[in-house]
Chains A and B, each alone.
Chain A
């Protein structure tokens, strides 16, 4: 499928993708129209100015200054955990003799998330430039971008952008005459969700089973091929050129304290205008909902999963008082995650929703460690039994406990990701589950 066909597909599905005027102070999606992704367009938007700035022979920045700048911007990882990026970069052993790597995690597989896809498709050079800057800061000469297998078109687009960057001398030996070398390779995954876990990604990149590694050691010490490696999300890298260009302060001032910059939210579900929305962190949720056209068909908002499928669900009553930033969502018992906002209106059955989520985690568990391998299937089977009208009163307690038993006892966070939605659903929508068990029927009529 060509890029044009993909766009046509979005349009026919009523999906706004990222080409609309309803971003607020956009940094990454600014001025995109779907066809201006090439190097010349990017340069016309001010692209690669940041790279030129740091590599400038007279007034350039030292690697330390680059990391300090990113630290001061308070940029936090956009992949889900929200770890401060500058600090992560400073963990890379400076004096290490031998190959080090920087890896971009574009294995965007979280249900509800589609922000990185649009960055790779329509602004790929922002990622490339961000990675070069990061590599310069950390003294790395080789990078990989691991791209999710189910968005092959984005992988092809990124390869094309890499060709352009290489031809223009932004990649390769002696970049812009600065003496700094950096080569960047794209690598397509095969669509496994688990390969978005950074150590599973590294295993996959090495050609092995996508099995997460036990940590410690962390990738900063023992990463790709056993060498020091930094893994960042696509959006994180894409945010970096803006920071260098406009300064840490400007970035910090977009957003709220401790939550600098803009964040892309993939708003999906029961909204009138689903799509990617780039807004400053700290934007109140009602405002974001408004941008996305509000709840569709004039229905009432019932619940929101604010950070991708692994984030605990929050009922409308709580959600409407929250602002979209790391801290506020965490305080409410959910999380920012990857920024996938799944909006559910009053017609949604929570049991069925959870059944689908649990199936996903059962299906995507790598099977390496016991609680996740055995627990995710157990959760799914119980929820499905309840949905099928075969639930027993004691199942509620077992469901809650099995989820709790997985939590915190696995090698990677997938176990937690499978457990948290279950606990969130039970916490806020217990009545709906109990209704299913008692009456063998859904509380929500199929059509309102």
Chain B
């Protein structure tokens, strides 16, 4: 510990802390622009200059490590003078266009100019103008004259995104932030650069001129997409979500969002929204009221149960549905006497397992790993923020990352924007054999018997070397490994490798509520049909909750049904459905997601329901009543949540429920496998309908990244 004095206040902090952080801990704000607590130090804006006793020169607080007995003045005459001087320099070439600037009202420069600037100027020379740039559909660079050259965006790209897409070109007062060779910014984390830009130089293109910041109500929510459970601040005006920014939650998403979380809100306001229940009659869709629609569904289900038995009814539920929705759907299906419910829409192998499969560690622990073996999938695009954590482990801790996956999920050594110590790009059909080779290489190293006899190739040995090294390590299964026909063999092999290398084994988990779906057992009972059986003609009546056969099932269509009921916020499944029930997306209902680390995160609706849309939990509850399944008469989603969680609220799912072990016999026979992996912006119905995301390079590439 180091003790120092800042503005007369005694401050104790750890050695190596920078002055600006020490001051923040003591509740003293030092003005700054280039400093960002998640990025390396540049010390280039000079706004944080402070007076340190015994130092001749005035020093930047962001780059000054604390020292014992240091006496610092952040607001004496010398410091204030320096800060005002820097403010004057920053403003002489900054345009006075705050009234038409999207950043106006939430601009660091504007805020600090109130404190350190003055209303006049003594600069009468010509001001600088910087030409507009084009960087793709997400980031607007039309007003680069506003740039104050803090290089936060450059550093973010290099340090968090893993690819340096922005750079500073030219020199002196002519220097400009540009994409190299004027290409678009393609990082899946690019939106964060809008957040960290302290001025209105990088602004959100989809949001552009939609509202002034002070008109927006700010409401918390949780991302419905990947399994990070990123915390978001939804900004709302006139009952419409107009913008999403990151809500800092250090153990979950730090202060970042993936572009998927940030820009998918566009779909919430899209023309494809379903706003009224609809029935298909004589091949034509007709809007009806809820009463009619629900009675139609109830009668239809009753009829099919009578004719074909309850086992002909089933539900395909998206793992992007809330915990409450999944719980009530299961209740409904079981209440009807069926056991056909499944969230594993994209899986190929369906094995019942007792434990809930999860990340195997906390999300934060990913940044502390020494070695990682990733099996299957595209770590970077499937799990942008997990990848960012692992990238930091590589960058700051020298972690070694090994990967066993396929094209196009790993297209070359730089594709994941982090150095890979070893990687094998193989046909998916070969994964089990190759993973068995890795296990054999580990076995040879440890002098034990291999789980399967598979003489290791050099490539497999290289993968084994990575996971053999280091102290804190993890074997992680990507989405494609879970969707693989030999998923259980892969998991069993991963478990074996993890066991004998003292690593944790983790399932990166595909969706916002994959863990939640397991918790409420949204999987078929012993008599029930799994997702594939249901899709392949096992049902006469199907309930599709946020599920769109095809896009959500890796191309497998739903066949053989007499009645299909779609519960979706969108006009989806028009060709196969008989009834469309408009249910709320995450923004219009309260609900709960459980992320990959088994963290339970509930949220409220941020806007009211659009048109006749109703929260799905209410729809399912009413449908249950109509079908007289005898379920409790829930009055709020909180009551449902409590039951879903087993009677008591909890921050995390109980540890004893979590288990990534597989008892399956290991089969490495390996047949040809076609994976049809899911592209970053194809993950769920909301993302697929977000126009700006679809215009990005990743969006246009569809599933091929």
Which A residues fall within an 8 A CB radius of B? 192, 194, 209, 214, 362-371, 373-378, 381-382, 385, 394, 398, 405, 408-411
Contacts and interface: CB of A to CB of B under 8 A. Distances in A.
B204 to A, nearest CB: 26
Interface residues of B, number: 33
Secondary structure of the B contact surface, majority rule? loop
Contacts of B57: 408
B92 A374 contact: yes
B226 to A, nearest CB: 34
B213 interface: no
Interface string B41-75: 11111110100000001101001000000000000
A409 B173 contact: no
A364 B90 CA distance: 19
Contact of B90 (A209, A370, A408, A409): A370
A367 B125 contact: no
A381 B172 contact: no
Given A370-B46, A410-B46, A378 B86 contact: no
A209 B85 CA distance: 27
Interface string B77-95: 0000010011011101100
A214 B57 CA distance: 14
B24 interface: no
Contacts of B90: 370, 374
B43 A214 contact: yes
Contacts of A364: 171-172
A373 B171 CA distance: 9
Given A362-B172, A409-B82, A411-B43, 9 more contacts: A214-B41, A366-B171, A367-B170, A369-B45, A370-B46, A370-B148, A371-B85, A405-B88, A409-B49
Contact of B171 (A365, A369, A410): A365
B122 A374 contact: no
Contacts of A373: 89, 149, 172-173, 175
A377 B175 CA distance: 13
B168 interface: yes
Nearest to B65: A216
Contacts of A214: 41-43, 60, 63
Nearest to B88: A405
Given A214-B60, A214-B63, A367-B168, A374 B46 contact: no
A376 B49 CA distance: 19
A371 B86 contact: yes
A362 B125 CA distance: 14
B44 A370 contact: yes
A382 B122 CA distance: 11
B129 to A, nearest CB: 13
Contacts of A366: 171-172
Contacts of A376: 172-173
15 contacts: A194-B171, A214-B43, A366-B171, A366-B172, A367-B168, A370-B45, A370-B86, A371-B46, A371-B85, A371-B86, A373-B89, A376-B172, A381-B125, A398-B122, A409-B58
Contacts of B122: 394, 398
A409 B51 CA distance: 12
- Residue among B43, B63, B85 with most chain A CB within 10 A: B85
Contacts of B575: none
Nearest to A408: B57
Contacts of A385: 125
Contacts of A381: 125-126
B271 to A, nearest CB: 46
A214 B60 CA distance: 10
A365 B172 contact: yes
A209 B63 CA distance: 20
Interface in B82-132: 82, 85-86, 88-90, 92-93, 122-123, 125-126
Nearest to B82: A409
B214 interface: no
Contacts of B170: 367
A367 B44 CA distance: 9
Given A214-B41, A214-B63, A411-B44, A405 B89 contact: yes
- Residue among A375, A385, A410 with most chain B CB within 10 A: A375
Contacts of B168: 209, 367
A1 B88 CA distance: 48
A386 to B, nearest CB: 12
A371 B89 contact: yes
A362 B175 CA distance: 12
B473 to A, nearest CB: 27
B125 A375 contact: no
Contacts of B58: 408-409
A369 B173 contact: no
Nearest to A382: B125
A405 B92 CA distance: 14
Given A408-B57, A409-B82, A409-B86, A367 B49 contact: no
B347 to A, nearest CB: 47
A372 to B, nearest CB: 8
Contacts of A411: 43-44
User: Which 9 residue pairs across A and B have the least CB separation, nearest first?
Assistant: A381-B125, A367-B175, A365-B172, A374-B89, A405-B85, A214-B43, A367-B172, A377-B173, A369-B44
Nearest to B176: A367
A370 B89 contact: yes
Interface in B386-438: none
Interface in B27-49: 41-47, 49
Interface string B159-178: 00000000010111111000
Nearest to A371: B89
Interface string B620-647: 0000000000000000000000000000
Nearest to B90: A370
Contacts of A192: 171
A307 to B, nearest CB: 21
Nearest to B87: A370
- Residue among A366, A369, A370, A382 with most chain B CB within 10 A: A370
Interface in B203-224: none
A367 B88 contact: no
A13 to B, nearest CB: 30
Nearest to B56: A408
A398 B174 CA distance: 23
Interface string B440-476: 0000000000000000000000000000000000000
A394 B121 CA distance: 13
A410 B86 CA distance: 10
B52 to A, nearest CB: 13
